[in-house]
Structure 1
Amino acid sequence: MSLSPQVLLSSIARERCIAKLKELPIIFNLKTKQSAAVLVPICVDKGKVCLLYTLRSSKLKNHSGQVSFPGGKMDENETIFDTALRETEEEIGIPKADIDVWSEMPKVIGRNKEVLISPVVGLVKNFDVNKLKPNLDEVEEIFTIPMEVFCDPTNHAHNLYEKNILPIFFNEKHTIWGITGLITHFFLQCFLPENEYKVDFLRKKLTFAELMPAKL
């Protein structure tokens, strides 16, 4: 019951989550050549509260075949919210009118250290998987992961990047890692009850080489 939509998406839970998101520490306060934004989309799929992800097309020059949140680089005169919502509509066909924006999260830096990424948390209202329209030039697959998957420590692992421990989540054929895994973990810390989200990332270690063959 504690992971049900009635509990996790109540007005009280929403405000608590937003307050915690605003208390997250600022890790990266750098000037970079480019800025980007992604949407962290909460949705209810088959009666379960989920996060929505995309699998980037293998046709793309950068980060092909990787799991990510919908998003991209900011256009001139855009806010991070404008970018996250625009890119979401362009990539998977969810119009901004169908997204209840909750809050931004602290910026994270891309792997090449040239892009600062602003995550924006939003709830997809009246989610219907059949209405999604993936841009096949950018998106190979759209999928959701229910909260109980994230709460199961047997789905946890980690890898090291410059001596930093980065969380990994397993979900059937998909592996959530890298910047997307880090954003996911920060969000879940704020969104889920502490007694439900008990992590054990150190239980298993994967190297970068082991992660890459899956093209995720």
Structure 2
Amino acid sequence: MSARARSSRFSAAVLPRLRAALAAPPPLSETPPGIASAVLVPLFERDGVLHLLYTKRSESLPHHRGQVSFPGGRHVADADPTLLATALRETEEEIGVAPAHVDVLGALAPIHTSSSNFLINPFVGVIPHPYAFHPNPHEVSEIFSVPVDVLLHPSTGVEEAWTLQGRTVPVATYRHGAHVIWGATHRITTTLLDLLRTLRADA
């Protein structure tokens, strides 16, 4: 690999700038109200390359079963003092990552899911690698990761025609092997990737 190719790869070197970029409050938006929820967008470095970690939801779950997602869930006011606490609690429950092992960089803008009426608050955090995950089989059927560079490659992001609720609609996806990232997880991923592109351009 050439020196130029190596320098274009995303590594942990970008994390201080990402933390600084996420320190500012997310931009105001006209996001409709919904059921408060939060997810962790986990990053880690392996072999000098930055990865995003995803889960595949269990087929037994009531919402978004079998879909690729980030660990997270509904805000429980009695259990969670903040939305960040929700994201960390759910991450530990779903994949066994202790809150103390997450270096939280900041928050992305919330997004709304029209199908389930959730208002999802994404928090970006760095986790150690390697890590002894303990997936909850009732919630998670698989844990996998994708290099940020792969997600940024034009061949990974594809718009497809899907039949949903009897209608053929365009759906934006990221495809990696057998995994298809779409919906709210795609939107959160795209928001983070756009920010990383900007940080690389400004470097």
Same fold, judged at TM 0.5 (above): yes
Asked if 1 retains the 8 angstrom alpha-carbon contact of 2:19 and 2:106, the reply is no
User: Which of 82, 86, 94 is matched with 1:83 structurally?
Assistant: 86
- For residues 166 and 18 of structure 1, the distance between their equivalents in structure 2, rounded to whole angstroms, comes to 28
- Which residue in the other structure is 1:115 paired with? 118
Deviations 1:64-107 (CA, angstroms, capped at 9, x unpaired): 11000000000015211000000000000000101111111111
Deviations 1:149-193 (CA, angstroms, capped at 9, x unpaired): 11210111125899x976321111111111100010001111235
User: Which of 92, 96, 108 is matched with 1:105 structurally?
Assistant: 108
Q: So what's the TM-score if we normalise by structure 2?
A: 0.82
Q: What secondary structure does 1:169 align onto?
A: strand
- Which residue in the other structure is 2:33 paired with? 31
- For residues 96 and 119 of structure 1, the distance between their equivalents in structure 2, rounded to whole angstroms, comes to 15
- Which residue in the other structure is 1:152 paired with? 153
Matched residues, number: 188
Q: So what's the TM-score if we normalise by structure 1?
A: 0.77
Aligned-pair CA distance for 1:63: 1.3
CA separation of 1:22 and 1:97: change in aligned 2, threshold 3 A: same
- Which residue in the other structure is 1:18 paired with? 22
- Which residue in the other structure is 1:177 paired with? 182
- Which residue in the other structure is 1:93 paired with? 96
- For residues 197 and 178 of structure 2, the distance between their equivalents in structure 1, rounded to whole angstroms, comes to 24
Aligned-pair CA distance for 1:48: 1.7
Q: What secondary structure does 2:8 align onto?
A: coil
Where does structure 1 lack aligned partners over 5 or more consecutive residues? 197-216
- Which residue in the other structure is 1:55 paired with? 56
Cα RMSD, aligned residues only: 2.5
Note if 1:3 corresponds to 2:20. Answer: no
**Percent identity of paired positions between Structure 1 and Structure 2:** 34
Q: What secondary structure does 2:100 align onto?
A: helix
Q: What secondary structure does 1:91 align onto?
A: helix
Q: What secondary structure does 1:192 align onto?
A: helix
CA separation of 1:59 and 1:109: change in aligned 2, threshold 3 A: same
- For residues 92 and 58 of structure 1, the distance between their equivalents in structure 2, rounded to whole angstroms, comes to 16
- Which residue in the other structure is 1:191 paired with? 196
